[in-house]
């Protein structure tokens, strides 16, 4: 941890990212290696990690009898301004939370049957 994490997350004008890619590809020829090492890869990994945290948060909220809804297609710039986040901050996901209103669904719900969505392998 003390060697891998600083190696993966350090920046130096993008040069270290290129070196990490070369190093991981060479290392990967001989043993299992972390391959998501460029700065672009790390950005993707961080957003995936946020999605896992969001899932855990949503499950915890459901346990407390709150409903949640993850949103996509939001105005990240306005959210950053509203929350007074630094310029380099990224907004991965917005989750609305609240208590369900009885009769809050105004139209019939359509659900694809589970058997059509998933195939057991």
pLDDT of residue 120: 85
Q: Does a structural domain hold residue 82?
A: yes
Q: Does a structural domain hold residue 5?
A: no
Q: How many CB atoms lie within 10 A of CB 20?
A: 21
**CA-to-CA separations, 26 to 7, 22, 30, 45, in angstroms, rounded:** 16, 6, 7, 21
What's the domain range around 72? 56-100
Q: Does a structural domain hold residue 22?
A: no
| pTM of structure | 0.63
Q: Does a structural domain hold residue 48?
A: no
Cβ-based burial of 63 (10 A; exposed 0-12, middle 13-18, buried ≥19) = exposed
Tokens of 2: 């003390």
Q: Does a structural domain hold residue 47?
A: no
Q: Does a structural domain hold residue 46?
A: no
Q: Does a structural domain hold residue 68?
A: yes
**What are the pLDDT digits (tens) for 40-65?**
777 788 888 999 999 999 999 999 99
Q: How many domains in the chain?
A: 1
Q: Does a structural domain hold residue 61?
A: yes
């Amino acid at each position: 941890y003390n060697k891998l994490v600083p190696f993966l997350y350090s920046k130096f004008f993008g040069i270290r990212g290129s070196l990490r890619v070369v190093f991981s590809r060479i290392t990967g020829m001989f043993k299992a290696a972390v391959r998501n090492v460029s700065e672009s890869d790390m950005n993707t990994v961080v957003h995936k990690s946020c999605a896992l945290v969001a899932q855990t948060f949503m499950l915890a909220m459901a346990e407390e009898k709150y409903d949640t809804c993850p949103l996509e297609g939001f105005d990240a710039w306005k959210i950053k301004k509203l929350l007074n986040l630094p310029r380099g901050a990224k907004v991965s996901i917005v989750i609305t939370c609240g208590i369900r209103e009885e009769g809050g669904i105004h139209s019939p719900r359509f659900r694809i049957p589970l058997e059509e969505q998933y195939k057991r392998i």
